[in-house]
């Protein structure tokens, strides 16, 4: 029977379905795999279902040039933790789980947009502190989000789902930057030529590009400097797409209105300087954290494994 390693505990339904198809080893640890575990897994299993944080780097593959494993069926759409070119060079196929994550990730973007614009986390901290003195007309005034301009950086599946929600739910006008021309943005939306133009014009900017070496620090000090001083930056993609130090400076100096983050440069380490700021909302990478979504992601990863071992092309090749 085909031997599969699942690198983290997953929803029961996924494990059960996996056990019906494969000889499954479940790694009962919520922490990322160590280098040694990754090397051993490549030698001992036919397929691996890894996820965020399992850093299958070029180094790992260089140390296992003839792996028994033939597929890494990633749990999650983002696969920046896998060096795909190096994986392919030693004969591995890599798949991911797009589609399954889209709506939930867009929902978290909207959560952060509202939390940041309306100072929800700061307000919650105030209530919990016991120091709230009661309502008054000019207390904790935030940015009224309805009808404002949303700038989306990266108009892929998730960017479009965010734009739909913002436009139809909050009457926001949508502008966006995308590396290639987007023929169908699904809502009325203006594609601008540069990131700088979007940063300058938007009241809220959402980052929705995939993490990769090409998007590392795509949003740097220069890009942040284009933003209006009342504007908010939201990141639901990968932490290193935004230069975290530059963002901290922009927030500290009040250069921008606020930020909402679900992802960080060195998860789970969050700089103390960021945690100390009131004008930033910090979520612990909750993008897809709902049981049915995580189940769908697991089932999609399994479908990719099943297709691969049946000799078919998996639907979600990367
Ligand atoms: C996942 C995500 O839950 O799918 C992704 O890429 O960012 C998350 O929502 C997590 O990263 C596991 O892949």
Residues 236 and 285: beta-carbon distance below 8 Å: no
For 91-108, what is each residue's pLDDT tens digit? 999 999 999 999 999 999
pLDDT number for residue 284: 98
Residues 162 and 141: beta-carbon distance below 8 Å: no
Give me the phi and psi of 297, to 5 degrees please.
-60, -45
The SS3 call for residue 306 is helix
Q: 216: how many CB neighbours lie within 10 A of its CB?
A: 15
pLDDT number for residue 57: 98
CB of 52 shorter than 6 A to ligand 1: yes
State the pLDDT confidence band at 70, using cuts at 50, 70 and 90: very high
Considering 226, 238, 244, 265, which one is annotated as catalytic? 238
Relative orientation angle of helices 157-164 and 102-117, to the nearest 10 degrees: 50
pLDDT number for residue 151: 98
pLDDT number for residue 314: 97
pLDDT number for residue 240: 98
State the pLDDT confidence band at 300, using cuts at 50, 70 and 90: very high
Distance from Cα 77 to the centre of ligand 1, integer Å: 6
Considering 8, 27, 232, 285, which one is annotated as catalytic? 285
Residue 16 annotated among the catalytic residues of the structure: no
Question: Which residues touch 180 (CB under 8 Å, ≥6 apart)?
Answer: none
Name the residue with the closest Cα to ligand 1, atom 12: 76
pLDDT number for residue 293: 98
Distance from Cα 96 to the centre of ligand 1, integer Å: 10
Counting Cβ atoms within 10 Å, is residue 169 exposed (0-12), middle (13-18) or buried (19+)? exposed
The three-point CA angle 287-289-290 to 5° equals: 130
Residues 288 and 103: beta-carbon distance below 8 Å: no
- Report the pLDDT averaged over residues 3-25: 98
For 254-282, what is each residue's pLDDT tens digit? 999 999 999 999 999 999 999 999 999 99
CA atoms within 13 A of residue 120's CA, in its CB half-sphere: 16
pLDDT number for residue 217: 98
The SS3 call for residue 72 is strand
Q: At 228, list the tokens.
A: 């209006």
pLDDT number for residue 274: 98
The residue to mutate among 239, 287, 304, 318, having the most atoms of ligand 1 within 8 angstroms of its beta carbon, is 287
Domains of the chain in sequence order? 3-100+290-309 (3.40.50.720), 102-282 (3.40.50.720)
b/e 222-257 (16+ beta carbons within 10 angstroms → b): ebbebbbeebbbbbbbbbbbbbbebbbebbeeebbb
**Cis? peptide before 50, omega within 30° of 0:** no
Counting Cβ atoms within 10 Å, is residue 73 exposed (0-12), middle (13-18) or buried (19+)? buried
For 132-168, what is each residue's pLDDT tens digit? 999 999 999 999 999 999 999 999 999 999 999 999 9
Name the residue with the closest Cα to ligand 1, atom 2: 76
pLDDT number for residue 78: 97
Distance from Cα 76 to the centre of ligand 1, integer Å: 4
pLDDT number for residue 158: 98
Residue 312 annotated among the catalytic residues of the structure: no
Mean pLDDT of the chain: 98
C-alpha 238/C-alpha 105 separation (Å) is 12
Question: Which residues touch 297 (CB under 8 Å, ≥6 apart)?
Answer: 75, 76, 97, 100, 101, 288
> Minimal CA–CA distance to 49: which of 20, 21, 69, 29?
69
pLDDT number for residue 204: 99
CA atoms within 13 A of residue 117's CA, in its CB half-sphere: 22
State the pLDDT confidence band at 216, using cuts at 50, 70 and 90: very high
């Amino acid at each position: 029977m085909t031997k599969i390693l699942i690198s983290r505990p997953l929803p029961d339904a996924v494990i059960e379905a996996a056990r019906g198809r494969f000889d499954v080893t479940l790694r009962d640890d919520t922490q990322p795999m160590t280098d040694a575990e990754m090397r051993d897994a490549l030698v001992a299993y036919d397929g691996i279902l890894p996820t965020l944080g399992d850093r299958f780097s070029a180094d790992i593959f260089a140390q296992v040039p003839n792996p028994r494993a033939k597929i890494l069926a990633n749990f999650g759409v983002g696969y920046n933790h896998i060096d795909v070119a190096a994986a392919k060079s030693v004969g591995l196929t890599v798949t991911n789980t797009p589609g399954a994550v889209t709506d939930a990730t867009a929902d978290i973007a909207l959560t952060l947009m509202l939390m940041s614009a309306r100072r929800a986390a700061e307000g919650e901290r105030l209530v919990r502190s016991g120091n709230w003195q009661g309502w008054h007309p000019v207390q904790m005034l935030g940015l009224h989000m309805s009808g404002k301009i949303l700038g989306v950086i990266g108009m892929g599946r998730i960017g479009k789902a965010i734009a739909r929600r913002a436009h139809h739910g909050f009457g926001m006008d949508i502008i966006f930057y995308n590396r290639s021309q987007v023929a169908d943005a699904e809502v009325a939306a203006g594609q601008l030529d540069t990131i700088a133009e979007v940063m300058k014009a938007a009241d809220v900017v959402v980052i929705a590009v995939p993490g990769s070496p090409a998007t590392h620090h795509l949003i740097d000090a220069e890009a942040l400097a284009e933003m209006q001083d009342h504007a908010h930056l939201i990141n639901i993609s990968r932490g290193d797409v935004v230069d975290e130090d530059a963002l901290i400076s922009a927030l500290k100096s009040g250069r921008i209105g606020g930020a909402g983050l679900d992802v960080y440069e060195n998860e789970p380490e969050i700089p103390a300087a960021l945690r100390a700021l009131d004008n930033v909302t910090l979520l612990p990478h909750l993008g897809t954290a709902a049981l049915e979504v995580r189940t769908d992601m697991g089932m999609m990863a399994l479908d990719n494994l099943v297709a691969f071992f049946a000799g078919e092309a998996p639907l979600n090749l990367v």
